[in-house]
Structure 1
């Protein structure tokens, strides 16, 4: 019993250390942190408050909140993992006795904490500047739904980070991130897009993340809740499979 408790405490300490290290790495790169925090807030203030005169403040709060939480998930996993691969850090992690799960836990926790900070900034702007009034349960539900909804984007980022070079990763991820947001209806309501793009949106994870958020404020398109969840879960499983294949391929290449 004592041995099992010791192993458990060591494992917890290891996971905690990995999380702290990844958080410190993030905070030491303001070139990554500041745009992640600033862009969703600035876009919301510009389009949700100034240009629309606050008429669509609730709807656009969800839009830019969903857009905001996708960024850390894609870039912290995608660009940073690609850089760690190039520097040999990921190889060291894979051959060390520490479980690779601790490394993944650290990056996931960093993404969630940064996403939570983005949500808090947006919520403060929406309430204090745009005059958005939601029930406490709605604020909490919106934060919870969007944070959980970042998981498939973390896995997509991981897959990209394990596939792309460190030089091509940032540009490639931007080419995926921005169209995902636009085509998923997070920048413009889908009814303003051509019919073909509206149909395309139905298969994108960004669309279903947005719909889960809009449902909290009763501004979704009326699809069953489980459909949006099922699509995000399906994407998560596909990206887990792809990331696992990339991990195994890299391990095989080193032999």
Structure 2
């Protein structure tokens, strides 16, 4: 007569089996976040464009003007060193690169190749799909912020006021929340994957440079009025206040303008976002799957 192994003695074989057991609600979100992170780190092009480009610009401009890093400059109501002023600008450039340009390009490419359409044919919630993607973008942003901060503090004379560091981190988060919807909305503009990079960069670089990410440039009145309304301008102003030694930490008009751009992005994304593309290959089209778009 055989007996059960000792390690099975504690099992209650009479207990009912839960056949309706389901994974927790957060599991699909966590899984998509993991997949997006792996896809990001395995793509040399994304790493070069998202992480290396802001660092490259900061190293070039930072070391070129390193001798003037300790000079005091005035930016609006704020007084700060040139090193801190350049640091605030490059943070704005990095945020726009990661959260606007990267989002717009990668979503346009994913839509063109039918990746989102395939996800919509699965039981996974759209919130899990998009939430996992945006979580990866946020992680990438914090990585870029960390690298830029390390370079600035170690080599380029950046000295962050300790009492304003929480405000700096909060402004980075607010920038993510307000700029990401603009990236999602603008991803609808490129008609295909091939046109995504030139079209997005044609908007990203002028917005970043005109907003004063690297240097303040005076413009005639009418042009300056337009520049002041660009989403990069309030972002630069808020980041400048968070690293300045004097002046208000929070610029309320800049905060309201940045929030207004975020609302515009959310409305445009909700109204016109599509999971499919007109030029989607392999038989996928808006007409065949319009009910999922």
Shorter-chain TM-score: which interval?
0.7 to 0.9
The residue number in structure 2 matching 1:187 is: 214
Going from structure 1 to structure 2, the CA distance change for 1:248 and 1:72 (only over 3 Å counts) comes to: closer
The residue number in structure 2 matching 1:14 is: 28
Moved more, 200-209 or 37-46: 37-46
The residue number in structure 1 matching 2:37 is: 23
Gaps of 5+ in 2: 1-17, 72-81, 277-284
The residue number in structure 2 matching 1:57 is: 83
* Among candidates 58, 69, 75, match of residue 44 of structure 1: 58
Pair 1:205-2:205 in alignment: no
More helix, by proportion: 1
Q: How far has the Cα of 1:239 moved from its partner?
A: 1.5
Going from structure 1 to structure 2, the CA distance change for 1:116 and 1:35 (only over 3 Å counts) comes to: same
Q: How far has the Cα of 1:221 moved from its partner?
A: 8.9
Going from structure 1 to structure 2, the CA distance change for 1:163 and 1:35 (only over 3 Å counts) comes to: closer
- What is the alpha-carbon distance in structure 2 between the residues aligned to residue 162 and residue 60 of structure 1? 32
CA-atom RMSD in angstroms: 2.6
* Among candidates 253, 258, 263, match of residue 237 of structure 1: 263
The secondary structure found in structure 2 opposite 1:43 is helix
* Alignment check: 8 A CA contact 2:153 2:159 kept: yes
Q: How far has the Cα of 1:166 moved from its partner?
A: 1.1
TM-score by length of 2: 0.76
Q: Which runs of structure 1 show a deviation greater than 6 angstroms over 4 or more consecutive aligned residues?
A: 219-224
- What is the alpha-carbon distance in structure 2 between the residues aligned to residue 196 and residue 48 of structure 1? 31
Q: How far has the Cα of 1:237 moved from its partner?
A: 1.7
Going from structure 1 to structure 2, the CA distance change for 1:12 and 1:20 (only over 3 Å counts) comes to: same
Q: How does 1:1-255 map to 2 (within 5 A)?
A: 10-53=24-67, 54=69, 55=71, 56-164=82-190, 165-190=192-217, 192-218=218-244, 225-247=251-273, 253=287, 254-255=289-290
- What is the alpha-carbon distance in structure 1 between the residues aligned to residue 220 and residue 112 of structure 2? 41
- What is the alpha-carbon distance in structure 2 between the residues aligned to residue 238 and residue 155 of structure 1? 8
The secondary structure found in structure 1 opposite 2:193 is coil
- What is the alpha-carbon distance in structure 1 between the residues aligned to residue 205 and residue 246 of structure 2? 21
Q: How far has the Cα of 1:135 moved from its partner?
A: 3.1
Question: How many pairs align?
Answer: 249
- What is the alpha-carbon distance in structure 1 between the residues aligned to residue 133 and residue 251 of structure 2? 28
TM-score by length of 1: 0.87
Moved more, 150-159 or 21-30: 150-159
Q: How far has the Cα of 1:140 moved from its partner?
A: 3.9
Gaps of 5+ in 1: none
Going from structure 1 to structure 2, the CA distance change for 1:43 and 1:215 (only over 3 Å counts) comes to: same
- What is the alpha-carbon distance in structure 1 between the residues aligned to residue 231 and residue 213 of structure 2? 11
* Alignment check: 8 A CA contact 1:59 1:219 kept: no
The secondary structure found in structure 2 opposite 1:31 is helix
